[in-house]
Amino acid sequence: MPVFLQKIAIDSQLIVSEIITLSKSIIQIRFQLDKKAILAVEALGLGPHLKLIFPEPGQQSIVFPDLNEAGKIIWPEGEKLAIRTYSLRAYDAASHTLTIEFAIHAEGIGSKWAQYAKPGDVIGALGIGAKCEYQQQYLVLVGDITAKPAISYILEHLPADAKGHAFIEVPDHSDMITIRKPQGVTLSWHIQQHPSLFPEMLIKSLNLPDEGNILIWGGMEGSLAQHVRHCLVDQFNVNKSDIQLLNYWRIGFAEGEFRRREG
């Protein structure tokens, strides 16, 4: 059973300091945090993520919503802020910088903003949260291009003796960017097909250990996540409680318009 972590609230302005087009589908942006606050990132929290607040055109300063005690956003009366969820790709406490990788797609506030971002632009950040913690389980990571930043972060921060298998599906060969990882974790990339090859790839390549705990963590499009959950339960007999697959986005729905069921 995974251990669940508490959310930690920060609210900070993020100032764009560097923009790198990493590949056909990924723009990496480094930000300077406006406060001297240190982000409390749990070293082994899986997929630490932030809520980014994007300004309306012409808006001079970022409006921050309130958070309740559970860290849940209280929307300002009659107003819906442009908030999207993104993973921490890197964080450097000494220089107060953090890095986020934006997957580029046709429509969307976050995707569009990243494509036109320039040094000095400002957005807001709320967070930071991570759903559950790595505790020496055999770790299976499964994600599409939107979870590639989180999976990269996890692989880079796992202890050297970690064991597992990561599966990442991307739109283009250029998105298969080398990731530092423990030797005992296999990394398998494949090019996104319609329908997705995830179930097929898992059945072909995933060898779960006979003994010991396992944890399956990932993020992807919602209906695909459901499909992958079914595959893991039906084909591999995995307990539902050992699967933490997040619906990172949903075809045809902007963030905030669908429920992020997990299982």
H-state helical runs in 73-123:
109-116
Indicate which single residue of 69, 107, 161, 210 sits in contact with ligand FAD (rule: CB under 6 A): 107
Question: Which stretch, 10-18, 102-110, 115-123, 210-218, contacts ligand FAD (CB under 6 A)?
Answer: 102-110
Size of the site for ligand FAD (CB under 6 A): 29
DSSP code per residue over 21-54? E-SSSEEEEEEEESS-PPP---TTEES-EEEEEE
Among 30, 51, 102, 222, binds ligand FAD (CB under 6 A): 102
What is the helix (H) or strand (E) element at residue 150, kind and residue range? helix 148-157
| Contacts to ligand FAD from residues 9-48, by CB under 6 A | 47
In the complex, least distance from residue 258 CB atom to ligand FAD, rounded to whole angstroms? 9
Nearest to 63 by CA among 73, 71, 48, 72: 73
Binders in 205-224 for ligand FAD, by CB under 6 A: 219
Between 109 and 208, whose beta carbon lies closer to ligand FAD? 109
Examine residue 75 and tell whether it contacts ligand FAD (CB under 6 A): no
Strand order in the sheet with 90-92: 82-87, 49-54, 122-129, 10-21, 26-33, 97-103, 90-92
Residue nearest to ligand FAD (CB): 108
- Find the binder of ligand FAD among 81, 98, 101, 166 (CB under 6 A): 101
> Given the rule CB under 6 A, which of 13-21, 30-38, 57-65, 81-89 is the region that contacts ligand FAD?
81-89
111 binds ligand FAD (CB under 6 A): yes
Closest C-alpha among 112, 131, 113 to residue 48: 131
Alpha helices in 213-253 (DSSP H): 222-236
- Cα distance between residue 224 and residue 136, in whole Å: 27
With contacts defined by CB under 6 A, name the span among 115-123, 142-150, 203-211, 223-231 that binds ligand FAD: 142-150
**Closest CB 209 distance from ligand FAD, rounded Å:** 27
Give 169's contacts (C-beta < 8 A, 6+ positions apart).
Answer: 143, 144, 145, 189, 190, 191, 192, 196, 197, 198, 220
Distance CA 149, CA 47 (A): 9
User: Judged by CB, which is closer to ligand FAD: 184, or 263?
Assistant: 263
Min CB(146)–ligand FAD separation in Å: 4
- Residue 184 or residue 262: which is nearer to ligand FAD going by CB? 262
